[in-house]
Amino acid sequence: MDFAIDDETRRLLEHAREIGEKEVRPAGLEADRMGAPLPPDHPYFDRYVARGEGRTRWRGPEGQERPPGPRRTTVQVLLVSEEYAYWDRGIGVANPGVGLPENNVLGLGTPEQKERYLGPFVELDRPRWACFGMTEPGAGSDAAAIATHARRDGDHYVLQGAKCFIGNASRADWILVQATLDPSKGRAAQRSFFVEKGTPGLGDFKIEKKMGLKAYESTSFRLDECRVPASQLLGGEERNRSKGGFKTAMRTFNAGRPVIAANAVGIGRAALDEALAHARETDRLGDPRVRDRLEAMTRRLRMARLLCLRAGWLADRERPNIVEASMSKAMAAGVGQEATSLGMELLGVRAARGDHLIEKLHRDVKAMDIVEGTGQVQRVIIARQLVQLPR
Ligand SMILES: Cc1cc2nc3c(=O)[nH]c(=O)nc-3n(C[C@H](O)[C@H](O)[C@H](O)COP(=O)(O)OP(=O)(O)OC[C@H]3O[C@@H](n4cnc5c(N)ncnc54)[C@H](O)[C@@H]3O)c2cc1C
C-alpha cells in the first residue's frame, strides 16, 4: 500500500475542510439545536446544489453519454468521507442526491429505469433526494426476514408492508423498496421496486425521534395496497431471473461499511480535537493521566483509519474485502465511541451541560455502530469468513 496523499486527493481534502468549516458544521449544529432535520427548502441545500454537488455518476443514455467525470478511487472516497464526518456526519446523509440506492440502480437498472430515475440527478434543477428502504419494524439486522410483500397483479405489483428508519424517505422523489415475492422462500424471493412520491398507498410518513444525527430525517412509512407498474421492478423481469434481488441489495451494504467506518474515525477525530483543546485551555496537557489517554486515543484512531484504507485499497483493486470491510467498521465504530467518551470525561461539567459540540458528537457517533450492520453482526461476518462458521 502507498501511504502518500497525491495532489488530487490533497485538493479534495482541502475543499472538504473549507466547505466543512463554513457550511457543514454550522448546518449540523443548527439542526441539532432545533432537534429536527433541516427542512427540504433550507438555503443550505440550495447552496449545495448551486455548487454542482449531488449529481449522479450515471453518464446519460446510451449513445449520448457525457464524458466521464474524474474517477474517485475508494481510498479517496474514504478520506473525503472521514473529513466531512469530522465537520458533521448527519449533514452527509441530509445532502441532496441519489444516495444509497445509486450503486444498485447503476448496476442492475434497465436503460429506461436509469433514464427515468437517475436522469433528474444529472443536473439538479432543485434539491432532490432518493432513498433505499430496507429496514422494517421486524427486520433490522436480519434483512432476509423482511415481510413487505409484493404481489403480481396483471402488469402491476401490489406492495403491502411497513418500513422504518429510512433516511430522507418523506422528501425523496422515489424510494427503492425491498420486498419479498414469497416470504417462505427467504432471500431468493426478494426484489427491489421503485416507488414514486405520491403513489397511492404510499404514506403515513413519520419522522422518527433520534438521539443524534438530527440533521437528516429517518422516517417510517407504510405501503398499503400500493400499486406500481411491473416496469418499476429494478432490473426488469429478465435480469431478476439471472441475478438475485437480495444479493444486489446487500451489495450496497458491503460497499458502504468502510465509509461508515471512515465516518466514525472522522467523528472520533473531532472529539479528540475538542478534548485536546480543552486540556490545553485548562493547562492539563502536562498531567500524565490526561496525556496518556490522549496519546492512546490518537493511536487507536489512526489504527482504525488504516483498516478502513486497507478495505478501500482492496476494493480499488477489485479484490475481495469482506473481512477488511467488516473489521474496519467493527473497530472504527468502537474507537469513535471511545474518543467521544474520552472527550465527555475530560470536559466534565462543561460537556454535561448539553450545549457543547462534544456532547453532540457523543450522541452522533453511536449510530455508526448500528447502521449498515451492527458491531455484533460485523463480528459474526468476520468469524464466518475466518473460521468458516456455518451460515
Ligand atoms: C440513525 C439510523 C439510521 C438508519 N438509516 C437506515 C436507512 O436509511 N435505511 C434502512 O434500511 N435502515 C436504516 N436504519 C436501520 C438500521 O439498518 C437497523 O437499525 C440495523 O440494521 C439494526 O437493526 P435493528 O435496529 O432492528 O436491531 P436488531 O436487528 O433487532 O438487533 C438488536 C441487537 O441484537 C444484535 N443482533 C442481531 N442479530 C444478531 C446476530 N446474528 N448475532 C449477534 N448479535 C445480533 C444486534 O447487534 C443488536 O445489538 C437506520 C438506523 C439508525 C439508528
| Alpha-carbon dihedral 139, 141, 144, 145, rounded to 10 degrees | -30
| Cross-strand bridge partners of residue 177 | 133, 193
Mean pLDDT of the chain: 92
- For the whole model, what pTM was predicted? 0.93
Residue 207 in contact with ligand 1 by CB distance below 6 A? no
Q: Measure 145 CA to ligand 1 centroid, in angstroms.
A: 12
- Mean pLDDT along residues 80-97: 98
Residue with the nearest Cα to atom 25 of ligand 1? 140
Q: Measure 290 CA to ligand 1 centroid, in angstroms.
A: 35
The phi and psi torsions of 353 (rounded to 5 degrees) equal -65, -20
At 313-346, the pLDDT tens digits run 999 998 889 999 999 999 999 999 999 999 999 9
Residue 135 in contact with ligand 1 by CB distance below 6 A? yes
- Report the pLDDT value the prediction gives residue 184, as an integer from 0 to 100: 86
Output DSSP code: residue 139: B
- Report the pLDDT value the prediction gives residue 168, as an integer from 0 to 100: 97
H helices present in 126-282, as ranges: 236-242, 245-281
Best residue among 210, 374, 379 to mutate for probing ligand 1, ranked by most atoms within 8 Å of CB: 374
Does the structure show a pLDDT above 60 at 169? yes
- Report the pLDDT value the prediction gives residue 311, as an integer from 0 to 100: 95
- Report the pLDDT value the prediction gives residue 65, as an integer from 0 to 100: 81
Q: Annotated catalytic, 238?
A: no
Does the structure show a pLDDT above 80 at 254? no
Residue 24 in contact with ligand 1 by CB distance below 6 A? no
Does the structure show a pLDDT above 90 at 63? no
At 104-147, the pLDDT tens digits run 999 999 999 999 999 999 999 999 999 999 999 999 998 889 99
Residue with the nearest Cα to atom 31 of ligand 1? 141
Task: Please state, in angstroms and rounded to a whole number, the distance separating the CA atoms of residues 292 and 296.
Answer: 6
Confidence of residue 61 (pLDDT cuts 50, 70, 90): confident
C-alpha cell at 98: 441519489
- Mean pLDDT along residues 256-279: 96
Q: Measure 226 CA to ligand 1 centroid, in angstroms.
A: 26
